């Protein structure tokens, strides 16, 4: 663990990733202290300073009702990160368990579970989340539900593939011979071997969940105003291109920075954990 961290900080690219992610996380955590206009996270109107190009104290400009873009982006990061953490906290255990069971038990279980997974994987990710959001009320909780529903099958597939390979390994056979229970073999013997791959995928996915969630809200199917959200900020601002470019570019770049940061770390982790296996 210490070694992993040392390697992460030694490589310039993964160091950049760590820096970017730290910036995003810190700005989300301490938005209340950093944001010049914390009250702008809500439904505030300031018709004196509306639609202003970046200038002090509005370093990212102001939106059409005069709210500070920079403050809103900080609060939007908070929503994005909460969403990412919650989605992964639910989707990963579900997906991993199904993948382990299908891969280890085989036979009818494998067929049924993997076809179920195929069904979810056969709807383009965004379209599935969209149709779920379509029938539910667009709230943060429902957004999480929709993204979770499209996310777990990827972990099932990942873990299923690993499990199928590990199942034939000597240590699993040995555990079977001494009469270990199925639950013990699945969770104590096979699962630890999937952990590096799962952690790597989770780091990368943290970025991708933010990306997909912003896509949903871009289409108007996510978090609703006045809650600040990167995707809906881009959507609202897109109508005022190119004149009010700051309305779209800054939230757009904010998404890019966060996702890029997580991807840089995820990539480095894959190299490190992959090499250590």
Q: Where on the chain is the footprint of other proteins (CB under 8 A)?
A: 13, 115-116, 118-128, 130-137, 207, 211-212, 214-215, 218-221, 231, 234-235, 238, 241-242, 245, 248-249, 252-253, 255-256, 259-260, 263-264, 267
> What is the nearest approach in angstroms of other proteins to the Cβ of residue 118?
5
Instruction: Report, in Å, the least distance between residue 260 CB and other proteins.
Output: 4
CB of 239 to other proteins, least distance (A): 10
Identity of the residue, 109 or 245, whose beta carbon is nearer to other proteins in the bound complex: 245
Residue with tokens 């639950």: 183
Q: Nearer to other proteins by C-beta: 89 or 127?
A: 127
**Least distance to other proteins from the beta carbon of 58, Å?**
20
Between 48 and 275, CB nearer to other proteins = 275
Cβ atoms of 64 and 50 within 8 Å: the answer is: yes
Contact 120, 149 (CB under 8 A): yes
Nearest-approach distance from CB 136 to other proteins, in angstroms: 8
Between residues 83 and 185, which has the closer beta carbon with respect to other proteins? 83
Give the ranges where the chain is alpha helix by DSSP (H).
2-10, 12-29, 31-34, 69-105, 107-121, 125-135, 140-166, 170-177, 182-184, 191-218, 230-238, 246-276
In this complex, which beta carbon is closest to other proteins, that of residue 66 or of residue 261? Answer: 261
Distance of alpha carbon 193 from alpha carbon 8, whole angstroms: 22
> In the bound complex, what is the minimum distance in angstroms from residue 88's beta carbon to other proteins?
18
- For other proteins, the closer CB: 102 or 235: 235
Q: Provide the minimum distance between the beta carbon of 104 and other proteins in the complex, in angstroms, as a whole number.
A: 22
> The tokens of 92 are what?
């990963």
Distance separating alpha carbons of residues 168 and 62, to the nearest angstrom: 60
Q: Name which of 37 and 99 has its Cβ closer to other proteins.
A: 99
Other C-beta atoms lying within 10 Å of the C-beta of residue 232: 23
Long-range contacts of 63-67 (CB under 8 A, 24+ apart): 63/233, 63/236, 63/237, 63/247, 64/236, 64/240, 64/244, 64/247, 67/37, 67/40
- Cβ contact 216:222 at 8 Å: yes
Question: For the purposes of burial, counting CB atoms within 10 Å of the CB of 55, is it exposed (0-12), middle (13-18) or buried (19 or more)?
Answer: exposed
């Amino acid at each position: 663990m210490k070694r992993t961290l040392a390697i992460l900080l030694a490589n310039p690219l993964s160091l950049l990733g760590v820096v970017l992610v730290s910036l995003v996380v810190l700005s989300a955590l301490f938005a209340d202290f950093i944001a010049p206009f914390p009250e702008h996270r809500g439904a505030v109107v300031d018709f004196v300073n509306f639609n202003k190009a970046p200038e002090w104290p509005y370093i990212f400009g102001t939106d059409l009702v005069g709210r500070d873009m920079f403050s809103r982006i900080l609060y939007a990061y908070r929503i994005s990160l909460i969403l990412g953490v919650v989605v992964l906290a639910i989707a990963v255990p579900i997906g991993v368990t199904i993948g382990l069971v299908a891969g280890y038990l085989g036979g009818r279980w494998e067929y049924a579970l993997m076809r179920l997974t195929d069904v979810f994987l056969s709807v383009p990710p965004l379209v599935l989340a969209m149709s779920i959001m379509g029938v539910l009320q667009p709230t943060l909780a429902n957004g999480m539900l929709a993204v979770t529903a499209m996310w777990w099958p990827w972990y099932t597939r990942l873990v299923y593939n690993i499990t199928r390979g590990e199942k034939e390994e000597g240590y699993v056979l040995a555990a079977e011979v001494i009469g270990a229970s199925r639950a013990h073999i699945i969770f104590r013997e096979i699962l630890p071997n999937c952990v590096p791959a799962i952690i790597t995928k989770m780091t990368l996915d943290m970025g991708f969940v933010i990306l997909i969630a912003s896509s949903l809200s871009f289409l108007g199917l996510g978090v609703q105003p006045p809650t600040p959200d990167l995707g809906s900020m881009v959507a609202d601002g897109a109508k005022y291109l190119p004149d009010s470019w700051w309305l779209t570019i800054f939230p757009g770049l904010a998404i890019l920075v966060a996702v890029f940061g997580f991807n840089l770390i995820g990539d480095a982790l894959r190299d490190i954990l992959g090499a250590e296996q």
